[in-house]
Amino acid sequence: MSQAEVDIGAIERSLEQASERLAASWSQLDGPVYGLPAAPQELEATLEQLFTVLKRWEEVDPRDRPGLDRLGSYALGLIEEISATAALLQLEDLSREIEIQAYPLGVWLARRGGRLDRIEPIVNAVAFLANHTTDAADLERLYKGISEIIEAVSPTIRSDLAESEPGRPWRLLLLNRAIVATRSHDPDLMVAAFSAVVEQLPDDAPRFFAEGMEQMDLLGYPTRVRRVMQRFHEQWSAGRRMH
């Protein structure tokens, strides 16, 4: 994803169109749906107000952004809420379409110096994109966008205190970036992403590289990709066996 492709207006239009479809589906229901956080029409109105404020940040001096962190968390929470509403209405494809917008929004916030304190919807979007992106150039852009997001994640999340929780967003974000790097077939991206896994997720590293080697055989990765995976697998597995 290039700088030009992260357009707050495009994100707004995508979410507005999805919200309109959500509201239309809700209006056709025969009875009430319990558990909805808010009526889709209310969420749609809130979304419009939110992006009016977000677009003002395009004109703000990047050295003077008080409140952007809170605004970003609120925006990501709203995306999560609208996506959950679509899921409750059994509109799974629409729910995913809404949640995917958390990724470009996360990149947009990161590029404006925002600190990301709420990354669950971003991680869900990244996981989907990692598994459904096939073009090498698109995978490279996705890798770079994920890296920008990782750099913007708040210190509290980056400290990774809940190490016993496998579903923690920070862990999934780092592992999915490593998967994207592998699927890009770019050895340089792989080395950078794998090094981060080794450094920040040492308990996950042996299994990740072991499973990576299985994929090398199963999917017939190019030799240059296999060499990087094998090097990390051998070095890390050997290091673990010595302790």
Structural domain spans, the chain: 8-180
Q: What is the pLDDT of residue 204?
A: 92
Residue 4 has pLDDT above 60, yes or no: no
Cα–Cα separations (whole angstroms), residue 43 to 15, 37, 217: 11, 9, 47
- ∠ Cα 123 125 127 (to 5°): 70
- Residue given tokens 């990244």 in the structure block: 126
Residue 143 has pLDDT above 80, yes or no: yes
Least confident piece of the model among 26-35, 70-79, 129-138: 26-35
Q: Report the pLDDT averaged over residues 219-233.
A: 94
CA 203 to chain centroid: 22
Q: Report the pLDDT averaged over residues 127-135.
A: 95
Number of H helices, E strands in the chain: 12, 0
Residue 200 has a CB neighbour count (10 Å cut-off) of 15
Q: What is the pLDDT of residue 89?
A: 86
Identify the residue with better confidence: 239 or 231.
231
Residue 241 has pLDDT above 60, yes or no: no
Q: What is the DSSP string of 27-52?
A: HT-SS--TT-SS-HHHHHHHHHHHHH
- Residue given tokens 């809420």 in the structure block: 81
Task: Please give the Cα distance from 230 to 225 (Å, whole number).
Answer: 9
Q: What is the pLDDT of residue 32?
A: 58
Residue 158 has pLDDT above 80, yes or no: yes
Chain mean pLDDT for the chain = 87
Residue 15 has a CB neighbour count (10 Å cut-off) of 26
Q: Report the pLDDT averaged over residues 30-59.
A: 76
> Whole-prediction pTM value?
0.89
